[in-house]
Amino acid sequence: MQVSRELDYGIRAMVVLSAHEREVLSKRTIAGEFRIPVNFLALILPKLVRSGLVESLPGPKGGYRIAKPASKISMYDVVIAIENEVAFNRCLAVKPSCESKGNCPVSLVWKKLQCDAMDYLKGVTFESLATNFEKSL
């Protein structure tokens, strides 16, 4: 399993915005911190804006900033904003497409893994990620 590049870049962008919590940053500035392609970031930021995690401020001095305190935003929030849904296996999707229809002992393993992973991500805030990011500079 591997996290999509879109999700990876979305999380990195949120780390940058969280490290500059009160500032308005341009796409280029956000992209430059982690060498994210600006054109790709331009596709990701609207998803973060629509989800209410990021604000878009128009105008010559406009840009982006996080919409609420970094301590109130978790990695799970960004996963849902970018991916819409998380399913470790097709049997766990909102519209499951598994022919076993609940009679599969493996689905219980996938369900536990998914629940544990999502619970863990809910506990990781962008405040903690931004603090670690600032220490690494």
Could you tell me if residue 71 is inside a domain?
yes
**Tens digits of per-residue pLDDT, 73-103?**
999 999 999 998 777 777 777 666 676 666 7
Could you tell me if residue 56 is inside a domain?
yes
Could you tell me if residue 103 is inside a domain?
no
Q: In this structure, what DSSP letter does residue 56 have?
A: E
* Domains contained in the chain, number: 1
pLDDT of residue 135: 67
Q: Which domain, by its residues, includes 71?
A: 5-85+125-136
Residue 32's CATH number: 1.10.10.10
Q: Is the pLDDT of residue 123 over 70?
A: yes
Taking CA atoms, 90 is separated from 15, 56, 79, 109, 134, in Å, by 30, 35, 17, 13, 38
The structure's pTM equals 0.88
Q: Are 17 and 64 in contact (CB under 8 A)?
A: yes
CA distance 21 to 13: 12
